[in-house]
Amino acid sequence: MKALLTRKLGMTSIISQDGAVRAITLLSASPNTITQVKNSETDGYQALQLGFESSKKLSQPELGHFKKSKATPKVVKEVRVNEIDESMSVGSQLSVESFEIGDTVKVQATSKGKGWAGTIKRHNFQRGRKTHGGRSYRRPGSIGSMFPQKIFKGKKMAGQMGHETVTTKNLKVALINNELQVIGVTGSVPGPRKGIVMILGDK
């Protein structure tokens, strides 16, 4: 299984073997500790609970939960798995060594929050004319009709923009540095710098 919790560092560029300059995103990938193994018999599904980084402020229930893994993680996430083998035991670690350059992966993170946005910024609506007689510059325009006297769910309107879980697929692993515990993937990754990013092997 290829999965890793990382923290976004930023973007840079590298020169590939064919001489092309490619943009990559650098991710800090310190080892993840398996803090819990869930199976279909007791939990109804198969998953691994991964712990990332270290925290000094844990509650007593959290300390009890992580006691078996001997870890004090700051970030905890679950990863669904199809099969659980002997190597996936509580306390074992996952690192960048599980990935190889050229692997196809998908990344999952929380996108940047943009706050409350209008229809032009949120849905790429066109603005109204700024000529004689025009008054609807950035208004959304008509949102309903006479029947059925209601607005259907999903109507494109102003609202909260961003701060959503976004998954980007078909990215390639372009850089792995075991000493610095850094992994680089091609293209952009959702979320701000220092945001938590989950890398998953794309099967």
pLDDT tens per residue, range 41-80:
999 999 999 999 999 999 999 999 999 999 999 999 999 9
Cα angle for residues 174, 180, 183 (degrees, 5° grid): 25
- 26 C-beta neighbours (distance < 10 Å), count: 20
Domain-by-domain residue ranges, the chain? 3-113+164-201
Give Rg (Cα) of the chain: 23
Cα angle for residues 70, 74, 76 (degrees, 5° grid): 85
The model's pLDDT over 88-107, given as tens digits with 9 standing for 90+, comes to 899 999 999 999 999 999 99
Fold of 3-113+164-201: Elongation Factor Tu (Ef-tu); domain 3 (2.40.30)
pTM (2 d.p.): 0.85
